[in-house]
Amino acid sequence: MLDLADDLMTMARVHHIPILERGKLVGMLSQRDLFFSALDKLLGIRQKEQKDLMKTIRAREVMSHPVITISAGASVKEAARLMGENKIGCLPS
């Protein structure tokens, strides 16, 4: 649920969480995904109500997919190109 993902990102100070299904990478959840799913700004929902609402939303519903990946041996230049072209802030291998 998004509330757990939000708490994890805050506590671990990370901006991306890989979403796995049966050990396979199926999506990437970013703070940007959480931001766009946050309804408090749009609907005036208070923080407690937002947390309650986030408990009902699954990460799969807002994650980015398919995930763009790169091989571990790729160059930094190639990684930068892929990230720029796809407007992403994380590039798992």
Q: Which is it for the CA torsion 49, 31, 85, 91, positive or negative?
A: negative
* Amino acid 13: pLDDT: 92
Interval 81-92 mean pLDDT: 91
Total domains in the fold of the chain: 1
- Residue 3's pLDDT band (boundaries 50, 70, 90)? confident
The answer to whether residue 23 is domain-embedded is yes
The answer to whether residue 90 is domain-embedded is no
- Degrees (nearest 5) of the Cα angle 51, 37, 31? 90
The answer to whether residue 78 is domain-embedded is no
Q: Quick one: what percent of the chain has pLDDT higher than 90?
A: 32
pTM for this structure? 0.57
Residues in the chain: 93
